[in-house]
Amino acid sequence: MLKNTFCHISGIGLKTERNLWSQGLLSWDDVLDRSPEGIRGHNGHVLQYRVRDSLEQLLMGNAAYFARALPPSEKWRLYPEFRRETAYVDIETSSGGGNGNYITTIALYDGASVLYFVHGYNLGMFAEEIVKYKLIVTYNGKSFDVPIIEDYFKIKLPLAHIDLRHILHSLGYRGGLKGCERQLGLHRNELDGVNGYFAVLLWRDYVRNGNHRALDTLLAYNILDAVNLEPLMITAYNLKLADTPFGETHQIPAPSAPRNPFKPDILTIDRLRNEYGLV
């Protein structure tokens, strides 16, 4: 879809882009093959120059270039070109915020492998791992995950970023990550009802009581948050695509779910629900 995109070019909005498509200029190659004088609604020479620059940036794998240039509502277009270099990321923290809050676990899924990072164990390795990717996909990561990661590790993430919260909202899906999952047919089974607050309780139980089953449950939950971002991303992409001339030709099939290396402990979940009146 990126090679069919023109709205990242200065002076071209969605209306002008649709005008270009209506002229049969459905891709960057179509623009370069057309005489500049035969392009209506935009300076053909300038457009061809910008398209050549876009091709060069894509050949260099510069996802950040397109992320900066695309309107926020159109960043989904990045996804197919950089899917194999995408990290689906979710973090958990020790509390809802305020002084003393810190990252407890981070889950990273790249479409093939599941990685996890735990405070007091290997959390510092995340900063070395994340820079191997070119695109990060989160849910509400623009407001939560990314600022906390950057502050905690004292780094600036150079990756292009797709925040699914905003894309799914634009498609009419609300209710947080779990609400969007339910609306789109994703089920959590034993982890149904476990949320970010419960993740804090699981970490607390692990730290205070040495309950490793609580940590396993937290990691199972955190990893599921990250893994589910892939089918949500693909669903959002396909739905957005339906409003373009490429809805039938550029669809991405649903992915298969990876094995979660951790299993939730039902006894721990039930005990914490009873202790904190969450039944």
Residue showing tokens 């996890």: 116
CA distance linking residue 224 with residue 221, whole number of Å:
5
Over 70: is that where the pLDDT of 97 sits? Answer: no
Q: What pLDDT is attached to residue 268?
A: 97
Residue showing tokens 């502050």: 151
Over 70: is that where the pLDDT of 98 sits? Answer: no
Q: How far is Cα of residue 40 from the mean position of the Cα atoms in its chain?
A: 36
Structure pTM?
Answer: 0.95
When pLDDT is averaged across residues 65-89 and rounded to a whole number, the result is 95
From first CA to last CA, the distance across the chain in angstroms is: 46
When pLDDT is averaged across residues 186-198 and rounded to a whole number, the result is 93
For the chain, domain boundaries: 2-60, 80-275
When pLDDT is averaged across residues 87-97 and rounded to a whole number, the result is 90
When pLDDT is averaged across residues 138-149 and rounded to a whole number, the result is 96
How large a percentage of the chain has pLDDT more than 90? Answer: 95
Both structure tokens of 275: 């202790």
The confidence band for 100, taking pLDDT boundaries of 50, 70 and 90, is confident
Buried b (16+ CB within 10 A) or exposed e, 208-218: eeebebbbbbb
Q: What pLDDT is attached to residue 125?
A: 97
Mean pLDDT across the chain: 95
Q: Which has the closest alpha carbon to 87: 37, 162, 18, 35?
A: 162
| Dihedrals phi, psi of 212, to nearest 5 degrees | -70, -20
Q: What pLDDT is attached to residue 279?
A: 72
Q: Which has the closest alpha carbon to 235: 194, 184, 192?
A: 184
CB atoms near residue 105 (< 10 Å): 25
Over 70: is that where the pLDDT of 267 sits? Answer: yes
In terms of Cβ atoms closer than 10 Å to its own Cβ (0-12, 13-18, 19+), residue 108 is: buried
Q: Strand, helix or coil at 216? A: helix
Maximum Cα–Cα distance across the chain: 74
CB 94 within 8 A of CB 200: yes
CB 213 within 8 A of CB 223: no
Q: What pLDDT is attached to residue 95?
A: 86
Both structure tokens of 103: 């990252």
The confidence band for 197, taking pLDDT boundaries of 50, 70 and 90, is very high
Q: Strand, helix or coil at 234? A: helix
CB 211 within 8 A of CB 205: yes
What CATH fold (topology level) applies to the domain 80-275? Answer: Nucleotidyltransferase; domain 5 (3.30.420)
Both structure tokens of 146: 């990314």
CB 36 within 8 A of CB 44: yes
Domain formed by 2-60, architecture: Orthogonal Bundle (1.10)
